Structure 1
Amino acid sequence: MASLLRFADTDYFLSDKFFEDLESDQPILVDPLWKGTALEKQLLFSNLPQNGNPKSFGLVTSGSTGSPKLVWKQWIEIQNELDVWLSEPEIQSFFQGIKKIEVQVPLCHLYGFLWGYLIPKALDIPIHVGPNPTKIPNKLWITSAPHLQLPATNGLELPERAIVSGMKFPVPLARELRERGKISILEIYGSTETGGMGYRDPLRQNRFLFLKDIQFTFQTLGEENELLVKSPFVSKRYDTFEANTWVTHTLQPNSYYATGDLGENSELGFYLMGRKDRIIKHKGKRVSLDRIESEILGLPLDGIFVCVPVLHESGDTIGLFTNSTTPVDQIYHTLRNELPSSHIPRVIIRQNSIPKLPNGKIDYQIITKLCLDEFSRLKSMEDKGKEFFEINSETTVSAILKSILGYVPKSDQHLIYDCGMDSILFTELFLKLEKKIGAKIPEEDKQTSFFVSLSGIEGYLNEKIYLQ
């Protein structure tokens, strides 16, 4: 059997050309968006791997590096997964009464292939593929959280039901959809390598329920636990493109596959914290950058937001890159109102375009470097400012706040909610205020509402000086 490279668009599947290829050869399915990119050249001018198993096909993916990864699937694995999903009572009820399925995700990826093509085919439900839904009642969308965000934010018509995958569902978006009502959502948890592992209702559940055929365990990584799974539809082989050649990786029989996902399990289900390479320690807390991106997705902000780690000698922190048209100070204000302090970035860079890899995915490496460079520049300016900043009785409160925050807040801005001051910054503030007035500020005074704003601090100091 020969390996056939197929740029698999919608027509390729709807014409059943895939099944013709599967009977005689081993089709390797590639996203049509890769055409004309450097990734296409890597595939075209390499000796494509072959799989000795009949009725096998490959799905080409790529990670944050943009290097191709070829995940092999046997048809028996796909059939096993289809049988499991179709036997789930909740899945059966979700499709009841559906007259048409709107597919808004590519069929050449496993999620779209299974839920947008094979399951509707098995249930004999017609589909419409494309970003613009048809106007027909009793509809189900096979979609993603970003595709739901736009109509939800703009008050447009939503489907009765939607199936999503690809990221943890944004909490603010779930809240908005709950308030609007009249929509049911099913979120699928899985990957190309593992196939589907579980599901949840993101409007009501924080945890995923594993499928009955999934066996799982955990391995401890520092403070977190990584999920390991074993099931009839986990891929047993994948090939990575390294140094202009394909390198084969195989999963030993009856062994567990390391998902790279961190979380914890209970009788209520699996709580997904995030990818292990996307979790940092910020302000003393373990924070998932994927979770922050998901939360921002559900906020009333235009544009794309990319969250990256900024690893610096002064401590790990968060960088945010965006092509939003919203001014940076307004972005900060929205984030401080909606997110916990541990999720607030210390650096926000706004540019007209998002750096992309040849495959069209976000280039996290370039964005990380840009954010690190900006953070280092700001830190250098801050350190120089502190070095030459001497405080005496003539020093203004606004100057003290600028030395801490890097800017002068408005007179009535709340220092915690509007300016993002944490306990460390507040300690610095009190030390500098005490240096200005030449006296200790009593602990009971620190608990008053005077210290929540610039005007409040000025009022307190005026009273303190008057009483002296």
Structure 2
Amino acid sequence: MASVLRFADSEYFLSGNFEFDLERNQPILVDPLWKGTVLENHLHRFPLPTLNSKNSFCLVTSGSTGLPKMVWKEWEEIQKEITYWTNVSELKTLLSQTSKVQVLVPLCHLYGLLWGYLIPKRLGIQIQWTSSPTAGDLWITSAPQLQRALDSKIPLPLTAVVSGMKFPVPLARHLRELGGISVTEIYGSTETGGIGFRDPLRQNRFQILTDIETKVQLEEGISETELQIRSPFLSHQSFLLKENGWEKQTAPPSEYYSVGDLGNLTDLGWFLLGRKDRIIKHNGKRVSLDRIESEILGLGLGGEFVCVPVADELGDTIGLFYSGNNSKPEILQILRRELPESHIPKVLLTYPSLPKLPNGKPDYPTIIKLCFEEYQSLKNEKLNLKVNEPTNSQTSVLEILESILGIQPDPNQHLVYDYGMDSIQYADLILRLEKKINHKIPEEDKRTGYFASASGIEEYIKEKLYLLE
């Protein structure tokens, strides 16, 4: 049996070609948006992988880099998952009350394939693929699509099944207030299949499916843990595009699989903090960039928002890249009202539209580069403005800090964490201290505990009197 690429639009499934391919070929399902782009070119660079089992197929995904990954799905895995979902009591009740589903997500991805095609087909529910949904029926959709419908005053459904990101609670609350819409959020990925579900308005944690074994992996120095699973829905083989061709990756069925998400697992369920590679340390606290994006989505600000890490001397800080009509002061004012101080971005950059990869996902490398350049520009601008402000040997440390922070500091309080001092303010502090003692402070001294508090800085200056001219 040969592997064949298929651009899996709704017509591909409606025509029965998917079932035909499963019998005679091994289809590799590709997002139609890839057609004619550099992403399609990647798929033709090397011979396609050959699957060695009947009734198997691949789903092609891509991460922030845009490089393809083919996840090998066995039909048996898919059938097990369909059977499971159609027998979950909460979802069984939801689906039994539905005569038609309106599908707003691509079927070339696992969530769309299951919930927008295979599960309704199993239950004999009418399927309508649409970009212009109407009120009433169950929507198979996503949080951003619901937010856009809300902004556009489109009549909402009674129920919706969503996936793809942690659903923002403010948005769930707003939807419920508007018309009683009930949202069910599915948690999982192409590799894992379904892991859990929740009502984002009522449940802070995902309810893990009963057939899935879980454990957590502790990581040194952090309070969150990484979720690991053994599951009948888990895909054990995939192919990742490398420089020399498609590299086969295998997850042994007997071993636990790390899902790449950090959070907290208890008897009450799994609290998802965010993707492991999207969590940074900011102002002394671990912050999920995914959570910030989710919370911003729930505020109904309009436009698109992407959070990225921006490296500075004290670790990563937060860059917010967005499209929309709100000014930067307006955005900051809203975020300061809604989010903890540790989650407030230090860099805001607005463009008419977000840079995106050909597959429609945000182009994170470009966005990070633009935010870093903006951050450096702001830093240089602020330092140039402050370099001429008077500081001499008679200026006290508390006076320097007050002029930088804009508030009167507590001598016993730690600066960086308790005051949320960023690297621009820190660089300003070092510059003024060097003017006070008329000497450059060695880099190794800046990293000592002296610079954690005002009293520590005073002590440093007294102990380093030999530096004074």
- Alpha-carbon distance in 2 for matches of 1:102, 1:286: 39
Partner of 1:90: 90
CA change 1:424–1:289 in 2 (3 A) is: closer
Matches within 5 A, 1:307-456: 307-390=307-390, 404=404, 423-424=419-420
> SS in structure 1 opposite 2:226?
strand
- Does the 8 Å CA contact 2:263/2:272 hold for their aligned counterparts? yes
Give how far 1:178 is off: 3.2
Partner of 1:177: 175
Deviation track 1:168-198 (CA, whole Å, cap 9, x = no partner) reads: 0012212212322411111000000000011
> SS in structure 1 opposite 2:101?
strand
- Does the 8 Å CA contact 1:29/1:60 hold for their aligned counterparts? yes
Partner of 2:435: none
CA change 1:150–1:388 in 2 (3 A) is: same
Tell whether 2:103 aligns with 1:103.
yes
Tell whether 2:187 aligns with 1:189.
yes
**Residue identity matched to 2:26:** Q
**Residue identity matched to 1:247:** E
Partner of 1:416: none
Deviation track 1:374-409 (CA, whole Å, cap 9, x = no partner) reads: 1122222333333321169xxxxxxx999647xx9x
Give how far 1:424 is off: 4.9
Partner of 2:275: 275
Deviation track 1:25-80 (CA, whole Å, cap 9, x = no partner) reads: 10000000000101111212420001111111000000011100000000000001
Give how far 1:154 is off: 4.8
Alpha-carbon RMSD across the aligned residues, in angstroms, is 2.6
Partner of 2:22: 22
Partner of 1:166: 164
> SS in structure 1 opposite 2:50?
coil
Partner of 1:462: none
> SS in structure 1 opposite 2:306?
strand
Give how far 1:237 is off: 0.3
- Does the 8 Å CA contact 2:240/2:248 hold for their aligned counterparts? yes
- Alpha-carbon distance in 2 for matches of 1:164, 1:314: 37
- Does the 8 Å CA contact 1:404/1:425 hold for their aligned counterparts? no
Identity value in percent: 57
Deviation track 1:140-164 (CA, whole Å, cap 9, x = no partner) reads: 0100001111233455421111000
- Alpha-carbon distance in 1 for matches of 2:164, 2:241: 23
Partner of 1:150: 148
- Give TM-score scaled by structure 2 length: 0.83
- Alpha-carbon distance in 1 for matches of 2:371, 2:401: 24
**Residue identity matched to 2:126:** P
> SS in structure 2 opposite 1:90?
helix
**Segments ≥4 residues shifted beyond 6 Å:** 400-403
CA change 1:167–1:109 in 2 (3 A) is: same
Structure 2 residues not aligned, in runs of 5+: 393-399, 407-416, 430-469
CA change 1:40–1:403 in 2 (3 A) is: farther
Equivalenced residues, count: 410
Partner of 1:234: 234
- Does the 8 Å CA contact 1:86/1:92 hold for their aligned counterparts? yes
Structure 1 window deviating more from structure 2 (381-390 vs 212-221): it is: 381-390
Tell whether 2:63 aligns with 1:63.
yes
CA change 1:12–1:63 in 2 (3 A) is: same
- Alpha-carbon distance in 1 for matches of 2:98, 2:70: 34
**Residue identity matched to 2:289:** L
- Alpha-carbon distance in 1 for matches of 2:282, 2:337: 18
Give how far 1:221 is off: 2.1
Give how far 1:258 is off: 1.0
- Does the 8 Å CA contact 2:283/2:420 hold for their aligned counterparts? no
> SS in structure 1 opposite 2:345?
coil
- Alpha-carbon distance in 1 for matches of 2:404, 2:328: 19
- Alpha-carbon distance in 1 for matches of 2:331, 2:403: 22
Partner of 2:206: 208
- Alpha-carbon distance in 2 for matches of 1:148, 1:36: 29
Partner of 1:450: none
Partner of 1:418: none
Deviation track 1:113-146 (CA, whole Å, cap 9, x = no partner) reads: 00000000011010110121246x4x10100001
- Alpha-carbon distance in 2 for matches of 1:5, 1:301: 39
- Does the 8 Å CA contact 1:39/1:68 hold for their aligned counterparts? yes
Partner of 1:396: none
**Residue identity matched to 2:59:** L
Structure 1 window deviating more from structure 2 (27-36 vs 154-163): it is: 154-163
Deviation track 1:403-438 (CA, whole Å, cap 9, x = no partner) reads: 647xx9xxxxxxxxxxxx973569x9xx9xxxxxxx
- Does the 8 Å CA contact 1:210/1:269 hold for their aligned counterparts? yes
- Alpha-carbon distance in 2 for matches of 1:155, 1:43: 40
- Alpha-carbon distance in 2 for matches of 1:88, 1:123: 14
- Does the 8 Å CA contact 2:185/2:200 hold for their aligned counterparts? yes
Partner of 1:261: 261
Partner of 1:442: none
- Alpha-carbon distance in 2 for matches of 1:425, 1:81: 49
- Alpha-carbon distance in 2 for matches of 1:55, 1:70: 16
- Give TM-score scaled by structure 1 length: 0.83
Partner of 1:414: none
Partner of 1:412: none
CA change 1:402–1:179 in 2 (3 A) is: farther
- Does the 8 Å CA contact 1:341/1:422 hold for their aligned counterparts? no
Partner of 2:438: none
Deviation track 1:201-234 (CA, whole Å, cap 9, x = no partner) reads: 0111110001111111111123121111111110
- Does the 8 Å CA contact 2:134/2:156 hold for their aligned counterparts? no
**Residue identity matched to 2:157:** P
- Alpha-carbon distance in 2 for matches of 1:145, 1:401: 43
Give how far 1:359 is off: 2.4
- Alpha-carbon distance in 1 for matches of 2:225, 2:359: 31
- Alpha-carbon distance in 1 for matches of 2:304, 2:255: 39
- Does the 8 Å CA contact 2:304/2:324 hold for their aligned counterparts? yes
> SS in structure 2 opposite 1:133?
coil
- Does the 8 Å CA contact 1:152/1:176 hold for their aligned counterparts? no
> SS in structure 1 opposite 2:86?
helix
**Residue identity matched to 1:299:** L
Partner of 2:50: 50
CA change 1:381–1:179 in 2 (3 A) is: same
- Does the 8 Å CA contact 2:69/2:239 hold for their aligned counterparts? yes
Give how far 1:343 is off: 1.1
